[in-house]
Structure 1
């Protein structure tokens, strides 16, 4: 369904000293996404995790064609959408198949649109022309599919609860029967009780419609519930990928181990794995030094002489570490 190859996005950073002055520096670049490869199969749900600043948001903006990549290819359903200019992609046939559910259901809805207007907007823009009666019928079908009472379709966002607004956003995303959804922390702004209901809704929709998910979240328990496979990202690189159960039960990369250990537990003395020190700068990072070097408890001189690449542990599990952990 989705194949990303060597995807790269560098942002220029202004030099502190003007170039024309003695000692002036050349333009530096922040490596937000640095040579990343990933695949998503039809009907598969893939979780993307990592701390803030690791490049998750930049990655999904590249895949959804809101940003132009510096390099690399993005093949979606056999079409290299990376070659379609950002301004043209919103009108392309591929846009209807690739939709997004946003983090905040309040900020992502137009306050001047009713729920009906929001849900039917993708149909009016990207679908075939339909009369008002058919749009009303389709909006009612979608509302029922996501558990939104049809009588609420005439309401504006400020007249809806957080859970109802989340259902409107999901209904809008599935209005054109997409083959893939990008879910950018879709439940983080909701109450815990509402989160569970929305997550079960997303799981049911995936089964009903055979949609592929790329699910971004800081809540690892949510990722564990909804995803088949997990991608762990750190400073623009993937450091570990594998099936959800393998990642949670047998994490191989020190960074993944630290993330898993930080999940709240009922233990009296939970075993935390601290990552001391400061993260390395993402501006012009050395290609020969591991991105985690300086924080990694296993780091040694070899880690600053050759940066590790993703290597297979088995047929389904990959890790980028010179000293990966193995199950006891």
Structure 2
């Protein structure tokens, strides 16, 4: 396997929610993203996907852990620079993020051309107005945004057009890694397919790596090389996408896969998770976080957790059942 573009080691992010209460949003997570690879990050709402994305994009600080980024022969720990100062870091441009809701992520007072031009000035250091204009038009062409729309404000654009502005802005600094946080969730179904095809084309054309955060497992299965499954701040399974979807080993992953609409399962009863999810606030460090909802739960699941272990080449899962 190639040297990872991004190597995350034991990343932790907790939020204080009371005098003696901590919400464990990201709890001891490690993962790799190779050059040119798409990694899907999946899990229920509240599992920590967006928090992990924002830590990796250096929008918020981790409590501990490392984010190693390989730029050519040089490796640097992005987590070593506080998020407040990372905006001026030399590597700010190599990791960019496309946000879930373009309405919230675009400045309503900026024209589309100004939104795309801003990282050219701040991160690339371009000063010449003519060169900036030419580059903005080039980026607009890459994402399929007509140049006549560059002079419009966000409220004058459709949802798909705003999504294209956000993607063009992210590409302006020539990043090597794009973090895509549910990039099509706020779009109509007919527009989603077009934007997803655009992202696939850009990845192939520019040699980008993606961290693709999504609830849509079908999209992850089609677009991603590997998948990482999170549950309440923990990674419970990860591996090649086709392998994980064909042979899920963790009970939570099995239930996620079983929930994907499949005409071949017509008439079969759906698997429904029983019980209540554990609280992510001050969780018991000894207990499996899925215990209580897991159909295979045993007393030992309450007493001690297990680490990720290899169940197939490059396929890891964390469950007591694998010990048997």
Give the alignment's TM-score, normalised by structure 1: 0.93
Instruction: Give 1:40's match in structure 2, choosing from 21, 33, 39.
Output: 33
Higher CA-based Rg: 1
Q: Is the 8 A contact 1:99 1:180 kept in 2?
A: yes
Which residues in structure 2 correspond to 1:12-91 (within 5 Å)?
12-15=16-19, 27-77=20-70, 78-91=75-88
Q: Tell me how far 1:130 sits from its aligned partner.
A: 2.6
- 1:277-313 CA distance string (max 9 Å, x none): 0011212212211111111011111111220110011
Q: Is the 8 A contact 1:254 1:324 kept in 2?
A: no
Q: Is the 8 A contact 2:120 2:173 kept in 1?
A: yes
Distance, in Å, in 2 between the alignment partners of 1:322 and 1:136 is: 58
Which residues in structure 2 correspond to 1:164-179 (within 5 Å)?
164-179=161-176
Instruction: Give 1:210's match in structure 2, choosing from 197, 204, 207.
Output: 207
Q: What is the DSSP-based 3-state SS (H/G/I as helix, E as strand, rest coil) of the residue aligned with 1:273?
A: coil
Instruction: Give 2:256's match in structure 1, choosing from 259, 262, 267.
Output: 259
Q: More deviation in 224-233 or 63-72?
A: 63-72
305 and 229 in structure 1: CA distance in 2 versus 1, 3 angstrom threshold: same
Distance, in Å, in 2 between the alignment partners of 1:282 and 1:157 is: 37
Q: Tell me how far 1:270 sits from its aligned partner.
A: 4.0
Q: Are 2:3 and 1:6 equivalent residues in the alignment?
A: no
Q: Tell me how far 1:38 sits from its aligned partner.
A: 0.6
Q: What is the DSSP-based 3-state SS (H/G/I as helix, E as strand, rest coil) of the residue aligned with 1:323?
A: helix
Q: Are 2:92 and 1:95 equivalent residues in the alignment?
A: yes
Q: Is the 8 A contact 1:277 1:294 kept in 2?
A: yes
Counterpart of 1:107 in structure 2 is 104
Q: Is the 8 A contact 2:39 2:226 kept in 1?
A: yes
Q: What is the DSSP-based 3-state SS (H/G/I as helix, E as strand, rest coil) of the residue aligned with 2:248?
A: coil
Q: What is the DSSP-based 3-state SS (H/G/I as helix, E as strand, rest coil) of the residue aligned with 1:38?
A: strand
Q: Are 2:147 and 1:150 equivalent residues in the alignment?
A: yes
Q: Tell me how far 1:324 sits from its aligned partner.
A: 4.1
Distance, in Å, in 2 between the alignment partners of 1:141 and 1:75 is: 31
Q: Tell me how far 1:69 sits from its aligned partner.
A: 1.1
Q: Is the 8 A contact 1:261 1:271 kept in 2?
A: no
Counterpart of 1:195 in structure 2 is 192
Counterpart of 2:179 in structure 1 is 182
Distance, in Å, in 1 between the alignment partners of 2:322 and 2:148 is: 55
- 1:75-94 CA distance string (max 9 Å, x none): 12221011101111011111
Q: Is the 8 A contact 2:126 2:132 kept in 1?
A: no
Q: What is the DSSP-based 3-state SS (H/G/I as helix, E as strand, rest coil) of the residue aligned with 1:312?
A: strand
Distance, in Å, in 2 between the alignment partners of 1:5 and 1:256 is: 23
Q: What is the DSSP-based 3-state SS (H/G/I as helix, E as strand, rest coil) of the residue aligned with 1:230?
A: strand
Distance, in Å, in 2 between the alignment partners of 1:110 and 1:302 is: 52
Q: More deviation in 313-322 or 257-266?
A: 257-266
Q: Structure 1 stretches of 5 or more lacking a match?
A: 16-26
Distance, in Å, in 2 between the alignment partners of 1:225 and 1:194 is: 17
Q: Is the 8 A contact 2:39 2:228 kept in 1?
A: yes
Distance, in Å, in 2 between the alignment partners of 1:157 and 1:281 is: 39
Distance, in Å, in 1 between the alignment partners of 2:233 and 2:160 is: 33
Instruction: Give 2:225's match in structure 1, choosing from 223, 228, 234.
Output: 228
Q: Is the 8 A contact 1:257 1:273 kept in 2?
A: no
Q: Is the 8 A contact 2:13 2:25 kept in 1?
A: yes
Q: Tell me how far 1:28 sits from its aligned partner.
A: 2.3
- 1:92-127 CA distance string (max 9 Å, x none): 111111100010122211111111101111011111
Counterpart of 1:23 in structure 2 is none
Counterpart of 1:18 in structure 2 is none
Q: Are 2:319 and 1:321 equivalent residues in the alignment?
A: yes
Aligned-residue Cα RMSD (Å) equals 1.4
Q: Tell me how far 1:168 sits from its aligned partner.
A: 0.7
Give the alignment's TM-score, normalised by structure 2: 0.94
Which residues in structure 2 correspond to 1:299-310 (within 5 Å)?
299-310=297-308
Counterpart of 1:128 in structure 2 is 125
